């Protein structure tokens, strides 16, 4: 049993939760401070955490089941758990059901708007896995899906959506889409041969990296806007400067003719960035 759990956690890349979870916490922090005038309770943070784990586990598991035939033909992904026969689709579907149950349960403990928005969240979680089959805008759809984390954190503690939360949502969407474009560069040859859609497959690696940079410029503008319209201080601004340096370095690592450092740019840099922005947000609120 433990071996199955280990295989499952590896299959869904559980450690990649670090990309979205800090932004979910940041959404909860900002929303609670701006709307309620105080930090969120530990109970709210706990339910947000469970909802995030459920949502991400369901999304990644769905992606692995839906893409199992594609993964089996792609040299880079043919050793994933389902194509390799390490775990069955039926077992993964069971995990999906449990994950969605966890998401629904956690949401029901927060507020009514969280429950009302669940169908939209579930739609995005399912729909994204199909988008690569028909549009190179799949990276944008992924961004809009992952960015439900900070928006969900905000709604969880405030019970409402406003312009500030939407700016945060779109900022994280651009950040996610930008690094997903970089990640997709390694599959350009297979995507083209298999008739799959992506920005690198449509425009080539050089133009794809330029598009990724453009998305991350929008990310930088979004975070700067967030700083200006909230009560965040110079502490958060200092964190932003470091985050901008990380984004710049991420793009410095990946070049059209050299993708050897792609994993460092994708995994290490983006994991550091999300945790850093959250940490400076938390420190800002504790100090002020």
CATH topology of domain 2-287: Tetracycline Repressor; domain 2 (1.10.357)
What length does the chain have? 288
In the DSSP assignment, the letter for residue 258 is B
Mean pLDDT estimate for the chain: 91
In the DSSP assignment, the letter for residue 177 is H
Do 34 and 155 touch, CB atoms closer than 8 A? no
Confidence of residue 265 (pLDDT cuts 50, 70, 90): low
Q: Whole-model pTM?
A: 0.93
Residues 6+ apart with CB under 8 A from 125: 55, 58, 59, 62, 145
Lowest mean pLDDT among 36-40, 170-174, 210-214, 284-288: 284-288
Do 30 and 149 touch, CB atoms closer than 8 A? no
What percent of the chain is predicted at pLDDT more than 70?
Answer: 96
pLDDT at 191 over 90: yes
pLDDT at 255 over 70: yes
Do 262 and 252 touch, CB atoms closer than 8 A? no
| Interval 18-46 mean pLDDT | 92
């Amino acid at each position: 049993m433990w071996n199955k759990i280990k295989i499952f956690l590896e299959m869904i890349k559980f450690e990649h939760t670090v990309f979205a979870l800090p932004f979910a916490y940041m959404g909860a922090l900002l929303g609670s401070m701006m709307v309620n005038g105080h930090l969120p309770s530990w109970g709210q943070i706990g339910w947000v955490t469970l909802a995030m784990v459920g949502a991400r586990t369901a999304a990644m598991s769905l992606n692995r089941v839906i893409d199992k035939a594609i993964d089996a033909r792609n040299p880079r992904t043919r050793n994933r758990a389902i194509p390799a026969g390490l775990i069955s689709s039926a077992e993964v579907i069971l995990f999906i059901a449990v994950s969605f149950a966890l998401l629904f349960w956690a949401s029901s403990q927060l507020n009514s708007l969280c429950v009302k928005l669940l169908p939209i969240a579930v739609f995005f979680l399912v729909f994204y896995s199909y988008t690569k089959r028909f549009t190179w805008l799949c990276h944008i759809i992924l961004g809009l899906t992952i960015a439900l984390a900070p928006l969900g954190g905000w709604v969880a503690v405030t019970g409402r959506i406003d312009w500030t939360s939407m700016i945060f949502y779109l900022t994280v969407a651009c950040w996610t889409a930008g690094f997903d474009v970089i990640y997709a560069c390694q599959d350009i040859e297979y995507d083209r041969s298999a008739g799959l859609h992506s920005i690198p497959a449509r425009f080539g690696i050089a133009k794809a990296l330029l598009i990724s940079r453009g998305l991350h410029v929008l990310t930088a503008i979004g975070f700067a806007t967030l700083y200006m319209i909230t009560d965040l201080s110079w502490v958060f601004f200092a964190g932003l400067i470091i985050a901008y340096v990380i984004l710049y370095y991420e793009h410095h690592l990946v070049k059209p003719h050299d993708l050897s450092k792609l994993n460092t740019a994708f995994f290490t840099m983006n994991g550091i960035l999300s945790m850093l922005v959250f940490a400076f947000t938390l420190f800002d609120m504790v100090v002020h």
